[in-house]
Amino acid sequence: MTVYAIIGGTGLTQLEGLTIRQSLSVETPYGAPSADVQIGDYAGREVLFLARHGHPHRLPPHQVNYRANLWALKQAGAQAVLAVNAVGGIHAAMGTGHFCVPHQLIDYTSGRQHTYFADDLEAVTHIDFSYPYTESLRQQLIAALAAEGCGYSSHGVYACTQGPRLETVAEIARLERDGCDIVGMTGMPEAALARELELDYACLALVVNPAAGKSTAVITMAEIEQALHDGMGKVKSTLARVLMAG
């Protein structure tokens, strides 16, 4: 039976309903992960949970130790990772409260520790990253969203920007020209690191605001927090369906 790990992003620093049996403080060759790995029961299944930004939410996207996080989950026994991400909507279909299960991504970040294959190598290693998300895991998320009756898109291109600031109108226009549908700050290098560790990986993205220039209103944290509050119940029920089916 597959051992699932959930990485919670903004708005999901703890998984309500998770009966915690153990909290692991995992030491890694890459430093400390964002938080302890929680092991417990959720939706009738054993699951691992890690808060990407720490608990409480304290780590900005560019300072998350992605290498330590994925390594810690692998060491704790994870085989598949369900990553929850809050994103901005670029494509017209990606309105606030909409879900997207992206099939592709473009990395616009810089300066992040993005690979395990960096030091003291016996040989250069290249991973195939043509399709960054595990298709079978994507399909599980899509089926769960459909069963929940959520508004969702089964495909999308995730643009990962550096943060922590939000993007300019011109930057979003560029991302749109590049073919991006949603924009976030934490999708990379997380997805690539999972691939390097041979972990199945898929993203459940919740749109929490229109991207810059996609609305006449000013983007506010209050708006984003409200969207997170409204959407987290559906996030949790969707994850529960995946776990029960898997």
Residue 186 in marked binding region: yes
Q: Which residues pair with 210 in a beta bridge?
A: 89
Q: Where are the alpha helices (DSSP H) in 76-220?
A: 135-148, 169-177, 190-196
Residue 2 in marked binding region: no
CA distances 181 to 19, 66, 86, 165, 230, Å, are: 36, 24, 13, 19, 22
Residue 210 in marked binding region: yes
Rounded CA-CA distance 29/34 in Å is 14
207 alpha-carbon distance from chain centroid: 12
Rounded CA-CA distance 176/180 in Å is 5
Q: Which residues pair with 157 in a beta bridge?
A: 104
The backbone torsions φ and ψ at residue 135, rounded to the nearest 5 degrees and listed phi first, read: -60, -40
| Contact between residue 6 and residue 241 where contact means Cβ atoms under 8 Å apart | no
Residue 161 in marked binding region: no
Mark the binding-site residues for phosphate, compressed into ranges.
10, 52-53, 186
Mark the binding-site residues, compressed into ranges.
10, 52-53, 185-186, 209-211
Mark the binding-site residues for substrate, compressed into ranges.
185, 209-211
